[in-house]
Amino acid sequence: MTTRRKFISNVGAGIAGAAALSAPAVHAQSKSTIKWRMQTYAGASLGEHVIKPAVDAFNKVAGNEMQIELFYGDQLVPTSELFRAMQKGTIDAVQSDDDSMASPTEVTVFGGYFPFASRYSLDVPVLFNQYGLNEIWDAEYSKVGVKHLSAGAWDPCHFATKDPINSLEDLKGKRVFTFPTAGRFLSQFGVVPVTLPWEDIEVAVQTGELDGVAWSGITEDYTVGWADVTDYFLTNNISGAWAGSFFANMDSYEKLPDNMKQLLQLAMDSSHYYRQWWYWGGEASLRVSGTKMKLTTIPDEEWAQVEDAAVKFWDEIAAESETKAKVVDIFKKYNADMQKAGRPYRYG
């Protein structure tokens, strides 16, 4: 009996030991996949370029540890409600400019197309990463429970219209789909800003509800179908690059393990890089070889009125708050530095 009890005891200890050793493996297998829902401002056709490749790559590498489900413009919530939905945790992450998603921060006015804040797409990441905008955006969004993840550039802002624009006079009365701040600025030249769901724009131009768009460059016009319903493209632009960002619900972000945070950063970086060459090359190629829209230009001496008005607009915005003044000061310093640097940073 003594030997039998000793045998049973040893077997029991062995089983317990084996269970203890196998517990972490069992736990790892039962660990649930982290699932995020992300919505972009872009419709499906544009989203194929500005975000989908990066999300697909992230999901492939993250595997069972994390997956991001991507939704396009207005699919889950209207674009103007993106911020609130993310803040509440209804969605985990957003790709948008501050302006379009109606962010309640001091920096919202600078998202999208802030008139002439940039001349080229590379200006945007330099402003954020080397001139201090990252720190300001991080502070502003932290106040409202949202994580500002990463900013990058899109295309320049041009008019694509049904009628030719050859002078500032031709802008008067034109009903145009554009960003809130851009619309506020352009209204002084007689432009009538119109807000509609992104996916409705093509039909609105066809029915005459809109006379055109001031939302993008020519690459986007061709990609999303607007070049099929507008006949003219104005080569003058009001900004060299759209400034947009990735954002996340703060709680969702803080719960991520460090390796997923790092992988997310790499995916966002790849998205920014893709857009840099896709837009830059597309803008030139389609102006030269595109067949769907005729190019028009407002003479430089006349367009100078718009650029002069932008300087006054900057000062008006700066007077609204200390934070806005700080951002405008950075824009002024940066553009002065670029002007002093000369070619290829600035010409003339």
301 and 213 together in one domain: yes
The reported pLDDT for the residue numbered 31 is: 78
In a domain, residue 218? The reply is: yes
Which band of pLDDT confidence, cut at 50, 70 and 90, is reported for residue 200? very high
248 and 236 together in one domain: no
pLDDT at residue 109 tops 90: yes
213 vs 31, which has greater pLDDT? 213
Interstrand relation of 157-161 and 232-239 (parallel, antiparallel or unpaired): antiparallel
Distance CA(90)–CA(84), nearest Å, equals 9
In a domain, residue 247? The reply is: yes
The reported pLDDT for the residue numbered 94 is: 98
250 and 142 together in one domain: yes
Instruction: Read off the CATH number of the domain in which 228 is found.
Output: 3.40.190.170
What SS3 state is found at 148?
strand
Length of the chain: 348
Amino acid in the structure at residue 262: Q
Which band of pLDDT confidence, cut at 50, 70 and 90, is reported for residue 198? confident
The residues pairing with 247 across neighbouring beta strands, listed in sequence order, are: 94, 148
Which band of pLDDT confidence, cut at 50, 70 and 90, is reported for residue 3? very low
314 and 173 together in one domain: yes
236 and 247 together in one domain: no
50 and 144 together in one domain: yes
In a domain, residue 181? The reply is: yes
Nearest Cα neighbor of 180 from 206, 205, 215 is 215
The reported pLDDT for the residue numbered 7 is: 43
pLDDT at residue 336 tops 60: yes
253 and 329 together in one domain: no
What SS3 state is found at 321?
coil
196 and 309 together in one domain: yes
167 and 257 together in one domain: no
Give residues with Cβ within 8 angstroms of 106, minimum separation 6: 140, 321, 323, 324
In a domain, residue 264? The reply is: yes
79 and 109 together in one domain: yes
* Domain span holding position 276: 33-155+242-282
Query: C-alpha distances in angstroms, 243 versus 119, 321, 331?
Result: 12, 21, 13
What SS3 state is found at 160?
strand
Total structural domains within the chain: 2
In a domain, residue 79? The reply is: yes
53 and 70 together in one domain: yes
pLDDT at residue 179 tops 50: yes
What average pLDDT does range 45-55 have in this prediction? 96
175 and 55 together in one domain: no
In a domain, residue 67? The reply is: yes
Predicted confidence (pLDDT) per residue in 235-293, tens digit: 999 999 999 999 999 999 999 999 999 999 999 999 999 999 999 999 999 999 999 99
In a domain, residue 9? The reply is: no
In a domain, residue 253? The reply is: yes
Which band of pLDDT confidence, cut at 50, 70 and 90, is reported for residue 12? low
